[in-house]
Amino acid sequence: MGRKRTRAGKYIYLCIACLIFFTLLSCNALKESKKDGIKQEEMRLETISKHLMLAKKLIEHGNYEASLGENQNVLSLSNNRPPGDEALFNMGLIFAHYRNPQKDYKKSIFYFEKLLKEYPKSPLREQAKIWIGVLEVIEKSKQVDIKIEELKKELSK
């Protein structure tokens, strides 16, 4: 009734079984690598979150330089992904902060514009636009004040 299997047929079955085994083994390895990738991403986000919280506390205590450094750490760890937009926003706020002795509205505008450019879908986008508008008005009023002072000096001569 049945024929005997030839050696070539046995090898074919053996190859198919090995192929199935290695396919299942590689699928399991892919699942493990995905789990490792997820764990690493969670650790990265946790580290970023700690830097952001520290940066906010440093601003509250008036340590603007250290806060700026923490926000730069967040920016470098985020790789042009959120919460890098929050770090840029904080950097803009640091340079616009009224108590910061080294406040610089031009640098502040730079960071807000960078946020708009690099994070077009950021929820902080509208706030950054508002800050840019306000800071530009302040800068223009400074220039007008300088011109008025120059004209006063010329008139008093």
Q: pLDDT tens digit string along 102-149?
A: 999 999 999 999 999 999 999 999 999 999 999 999 999 999 989 999
For the residues 78-94, what does the mean pLDDT come to? 93
Q: How confident is the model at residue 15 (pLDDT cuts 50, 70, 90)?
A: confident
pLDDT score of 38 more than 90: no
pLDDT score of 27 more than 70: no
Write out pLDDT tens, residues 40-85: 888 888 999 999 999 999 999 999 999 999 999 999 999 888 899 9
Q: How confident is the model at residue 32 (pLDDT cuts 50, 70, 90)?
A: low
Q: How confident is the model at residue 4 (pLDDT cuts 50, 70, 90)?
A: low
Distance of CA 136 to the CA centre of its chain: 25
pLDDT at position 13, please?
Answer: 76
Asked if the peptide bond before residue 120 counts as cis, ω within 30 degrees of 0, the response is: no
Instruction: Break the chain into its structural domains and give their ranges.
Output: 10-156
pLDDT score of 5 more than 60: no
Nearest partner of 92 among 154, 136, 57, 152, judged by Cα:
136
* Assigned CATH for 10-156: 1.25.40.10
pLDDT at position 6, please?
Answer: 61
Write phi, then psi, for 8 (nearest 5 degrees).
-65, -40
